[in-house]
Structure 1
Amino acid sequence: MTSKAIALPQLSGFTEREGAWYAEEIPLADLAKEFGTPLYVYSKKALTEAYQAYDKACIDQQGKRRARVHYAMKANSNLAVIDCFKKLGAGFDLVSGGELARALAIGADPKSLVFAGVGKSATEIASALQAGVKCINVESIAELHNINRVASKLNCRAPISLRVNPDVDAKTHPYISTGLKGNKFGIAYHEVLKTYREASQLPQIDLVGIDCHIGSQITTTAPYLDALDKVLDLVENLKREGIMIHHLDLGGGLGISYSDETPPDITEFTNTLLNHVANRGFAHLDIVLEPGRSLVGNAGVLLTTVEYLKPGVEKNFCIVDAAMTELMRPALYEAHHGIVAAQTKSAKSSTYDVVGPVCESGDWLGRDRTLAVEEGDLLAILSAGAYGFVMASNYNTRPKPAEIMVDGKNAYVIRAREKTAELFASETILPN
Structure 2
Amino acid sequence: MDHFLYRDGVLHAEDVPLPEIAAAVGTPFYLYSTATLTRHFRLFDEGLAGLDHLVCYAMKANSNQAVLKVLAEAGAGMDVVSGGEYLRAKAAGVPGEKIVFSGVGKTREEMALAIQGGIRQFNLESEPEMLLLSEVATSLGATVPVTIRVNPDVDAKTHAKIATGKSENKFGIPISRAREVYAQAAALPGLEVIGIDCHIGSQLTDLTPFAEAFDLVVSLTEALRADGHDIRRLDLGGGLGIPYERSNEAPPLPIEFCNLIKEKVGHLDVEVEIEPGRLIAGNAGLLVSKVIFVKEGEDRQFLILDAAMNDLIRPAMYDSYHEVIPVIEPAPGAEPATYDIVGPVCESGDTFAKRRAMAKVGAGDLVAFRSAGAYGAVMSSEYNSRPMVPEVLVHEHQFAVIRPRPTFDEMINRDIIPEWM
Same fold by TM (over 0.5)?
A: yes
The answer (yes or no) to whether the contact 2:218–2:264 under 8 Å persists in 1 is no
Q: What SS class does the counterpart of residue 87 from structure 1 fall into? A: helix
* 1:35 counterpart (25, 44, 48): 25
Q: Deviations over 1:327-347 (max 9, x none)?
A: 010000000000001014679
For residues 98 and 266 of structure 1, what CA distance do their matches in structure 2 show? 29
Unaligned 5+ segments in structure 2 are none
CA distance in 2 between counterparts of 1:307 and 1:317 reads: 11
The answer as to 2:408 corresponding to 1:423 is no
Tell me the residue number matched to 1:14. 4
Q: 2:95·2:118 contact (CA, 8 Å) conserved in 1?
A: no
Unaligned runs of 5+ in 1: 1-10
Q: In structure 1, what is the equivalent of residue 353 of structure 2?
A: 366
Separation in 2, partners of 1:428, 1:403: 27
Q: In structure 1, what residue type is equivalent to 2:338?
A: T
* TM-score normalised over the length of structure 1: 0.94
Distance 2:222 2:336 in 1: 61
The letter for the 1-side match of 2:314 is R
Question: Is 2:177 the partner of 1:191?
Answer: yes
CA-CA distance at 1:174 after TM superposition: 0.3
**TM-score computed with the length of structure 2 as normaliser:** 0.96
Paired position in structure 2 for 1:356: 343
- Cα deviation, residue 220, structure 1: 1.1
Give the match for residue 70 of structure 2. 84
Count of residue pairs the alignment pairs up = 415
Residue 73 (1) aligns with residue 59 (2): yes
8 Å CA contact 2:387, 2:411 repeated in 1: yes
Code of the aligned partner of 1:224? F
Give how far 1:159 is off. Answer: 1.5
Which of 103, 112, 126 is residue 126 of structure 1 equivalent to? 112
Match in the other structure for 1:300: 285
What is the aligned-residue identity percentage? 44
Q: How far has the Cα of 1:12 moved from its partner?
A: 2.0
Cα shift readout 1:228-251 (whole Å, capped 9, x = no counterpart)? 111111111111111111200000
Q: Which residue identity lines up with residue 230 of structure 1 in the other structure?
A: L
Preserved contact between residue 349 and residue 373 of structure 1 (Cα < 8 Å): no
1:108 CA displacement: 0.8
Which of the numbers 25, 38, 41 marks the counterpart of 1:51? Answer: 41
| Equivalent position of 1:251 in the other structure | 237
Question: 1:109, 1:204 → 2: CA distance?
Answer: 21
Deviations, residues 312-357 of structure 1 (Å, cap 9, x unaligned): 1132111101011110100000000000010146796421111111
One-letter identity of the residue aligned with 2:323: G
1:104 CA displacement: 0.7
Cross-structure match for 1:238: 224
Tell me which residue corresponds to 1:3: none
Matches of 1:13 and 1:348, distance apart in 2:
26
Are the equivalent residues in 2 in contact too, given 1:66–1:274 (CA < 8 A)? no
State yes or no: 1:394 paired with 2:382. yes
Tell me, yes or no, if structure 1 residue 142 matches structure 2 residue 132: no
SS at match of 1:424: helix
Which of 386, 389, 397 is residue 409 of structure 1 equivalent to? 397
- Alpha-carbon distance between aligned partners in 1 of 2:25 and 2:353, rounded to the nearest angstrom: 24
The residue number in structure 1 matching 2:319 is 334
What RMSD, in angstroms, separates the aligned Cα atoms of the two structures? 1.3
The answer (yes or no) to whether the contact 2:34–2:395 under 8 Å persists in 1 is yes
Residue type of the alignment partner of 1:212: C
- Find 2:304's aligned residue among 301, 319, 323: 319
SS in structure 2 of the partner of residue 172 of structure 1: coil
2:168 equivalent among 182, 193, 197: 182
AA at the equivalent of 2:327: A
